[in-house]
């Protein structure tokens, strides 16, 4: 099938692994760097991007300003020859009292246990950003991206990219966990003249 209908792409990249990921700690907006594995994943992601056939080559790179995303974005920037535009609207969900806790510790704090279907504490943390506010900040950035007519790469966090997918595909944000992004994975969506998103590839990994 001809891909001539594709006018631009939106590329979603999750940051590489951190020590908190390995320890099952909830990062939220804590500024946790990549670990050695994460740095290798980010480098591999950059090499993967150089091998892809682009239907509409990326023209802009926007990254969360948290260092695990910005470190990953450095490899993406070198691969694509693009400058990085940091944007704090791409930060992860601010998890309040759960930030820095393991999943088990957060579940004990909530007193409601762990939901085994999503391996996450049940309930909402105190002093956290509301999911609605998170969706609003992500939607504002996404609207700017959609209005730009450019092919754009977003380097961000698992929870944030889940919200991006929900907003693009019209899925209620309460069902966001159906989109699971691996470390340093690449997801590609295409848009034609009608601006309707078409998923080309979800969760592509160099590993």
For residue 136, the tally of other CB atoms under 10 A from its CB is: 12
Closest CA to 155 of 74, 37, 94: 74
Q: From start to end of the chain, where are the E strands? A: 8-14, 60-63, 84-86, 114-115, 120-121, 152-156, 186-191, 197-204
Considering the entire predicted model, what is its pTM?
0.95
Report the Cα–Cα distance between both ends of the chain, in Å, rounded: 28
Say how far apart CA 45 and CA 29 lie, in whole Å.
23
Q: Which domains does the chain have, with CATH numbers?
A: 8-20+34-94+129-204 (3.40.50.1240), 95-128 (no CATH)
The active-site residue, picked from 15, 71, 75, 157, is 15
Say how far apart CA 73 and CA 60 lie, in whole Å.
12
Say how far apart CA 155 and CA 181 lie, in whole Å.
12
pLDDT tens string 34-51: 999 999 999 999 999 999
The active-site residue, picked from 9, 71, 92, 157, is 92
pLDDT tens string 114-139: 988 888 899 899 999 999 999 999 99
Question: Above 50 in pLDDT, residue 1?
Answer: no
Those residues with Cβ within 8 angstroms of residue 7's Cβ, 6 or more apart along the chain or in another chain: 56, 149, 191, 192, 193
> Is there a catalytic annotation at residue 15?
yes
pLDDT tens string 87-108: 999 999 999 999 999 999 999 9
> Is there a catalytic annotation at residue 92?
yes
């Amino acid at each position: 099938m001809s891909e001539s209908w594709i006018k631009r792409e939106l590329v979603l990249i999750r940051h590489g692994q951190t020590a908190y990921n390995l320890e099952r700690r909830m990062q939220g907006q804590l500024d946790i760097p990549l670990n050695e594995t994460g740095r290798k994943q980010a480098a591999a992601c950059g090499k993967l991007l150089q091998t892809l056939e682009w239907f509409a080559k990326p023209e802009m790179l926007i990254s969360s300003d948290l260092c695990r995303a910005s470190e990953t974005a450095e490899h993406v920037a070198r691969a694509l020859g693009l400058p990085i535009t940091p944007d704090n609207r791409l930060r992860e969900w601010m998890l309040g009292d759960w930030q820095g806790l393991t999943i088990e510790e957060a579940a004990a704090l909530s007193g409601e246990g762990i939901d085994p279907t999503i391996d996450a504490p049940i309930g909402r943390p105190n002093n956290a950003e509301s999911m609605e506010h998170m969706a609003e900040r992500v939607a504002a950035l996404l609207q700017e991206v959609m209005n730009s007519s450019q092919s754009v790469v977003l380097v961000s966090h698992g929870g944030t990219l889940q919200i991006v997918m929900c907003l693009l595909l019209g899925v209620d944000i309460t069902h966001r966990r159906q989109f699971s992004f691996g470390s340093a994975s690449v997801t590609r969506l295409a848009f034609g003249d009608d601006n309707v998103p078409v998923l080309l590839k979800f969760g592509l990994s160099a590993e």
